[in-house]
Chains A and B, each alone.
Chain A
Amino acid sequence: MSIGLEHYLFVSMMLFSIGFFGVLLRKNTLVVFMCLELMLSAAILAFIAFSRFNATAGTPLMEGNLFALFVIAIAACEVAVGLAIIVTLWRRNQTVELNEINELKH
């Protein structure tokens, strides 16, 4: 049994689903944010797998790889800003539990 595209898509799908349910179910903001990163990297894996299996002899450049490079750069920005927001939340409320941060609700 050789390793085909569907194997990589399976891994990507599992990673994305675990990240998704982590975002939905966890209460700690930091863990939620980590699960968000998991979803992003699952998308990167799908990009790279598709571009590798899609490469033909005429166009050996894998454009999905370049896209993945940009995704990684933007993810770095996103982590920096998100963690800054978490630090500010902690400074205001002394907590990072999502069910205790409900000022906008009331």
Chain B
Amino acid sequence: MKEILFHFFAALTIVPAFFLATSRKPVNAAMNMMASFVGLSALFVMLETYFLAILQLLVYAGAIVVLFLFIIMLIDAGKSPQPRLMRFLASLAAFALLTVVSFGLVFGGGSGPFAEISVEAPASLSRTFGVELFTRYLLPFQVTGFMLLIAMVGVIAITKKHESEGGAE
């Protein structure tokens, strides 16, 4: 059962990613990105990291995709030109080659020392997360918060229209 679920979610991650990279309209690309991120967070659930799965859904599939859609609406990006048939076939062939090569690279070398999960996941992972985040990783946590602030101020500074510039022209 777990194997079937894994293969389903892996396909749900990779196939929309391929369509993201080849789609002509940016809106379709954003939708495919959302599907791919939903599959990815399901993979996180299969790795028993529920906290990060929820975070991935909220931040990536929620906030970031909505931000992309908002910008697409704002700037009215047009369609890419229709690709020729040869080009489409070439991208399909490249995808097949990529699958074969990475399959060989990953599965060809035999199992490593970490091939199986050896211990149970902690029952209260988010509690462990919180404790570690506010004790051992306090400084990186603070720096991350400051970085978010810097990004916010930077975005406002970049997108602001300079009135002196407009007046001079």
Please report A residues at the B interface, Cβ cutoff 8 Å: 1-11, 13-15, 17-19, 21-22, 25-28, 30-31, 33-35, 37-38, 41, 44-45, 48-50, 52-57, 60-62, 65-66, 68-70, 72-81, 83-88, 90, 96
Contact = CB atoms under 8 A, between A and B. Distances in A.
Contacts of A28: 26, 77, 80
13 contacts: A4-B116, A5-B114, A7-B6, A14-B99, A18-B17, A18-B20, A30-B72, A34-B20, A38-B21, A45-B44, A53-B115, A74-B144, A78-B151
Contact of B10 (A7, A44, A53, A68): A7
A55 B116 contact: no
Interface residues of B, number: 77
A60 B120 CA distance: 8
Given A6-B106, A9-B106, A72-B55, A18 B114 contact: no
Contacts of B95: 18
Contacts of A4: 111, 115-116
Contact of B103 (A10, A52, A81): A10
A72 B59 contact: yes
Contact of B122 (A13, A34, A37, A61): A61
B46 to A, nearest CB: 8
Interface centre among B2, B21, B102, B137 (most CB of A within 10 A): B21
Interface string B73-103: 0110100100000000000001100110011
Nearest to A15: B17
B144 A80 contact: no
B106 A81 contact: no
A52 B49 contact: yes
Nearest to B51: A65
Interface string B19-39: 011010010011001001100
Nearest to A11: B10
Contacts of B20: 18, 22, 31, 34-35, 38
Contacts of A22: 20-21
A87 B18 contact: no
A97 to B, nearest CB: 9
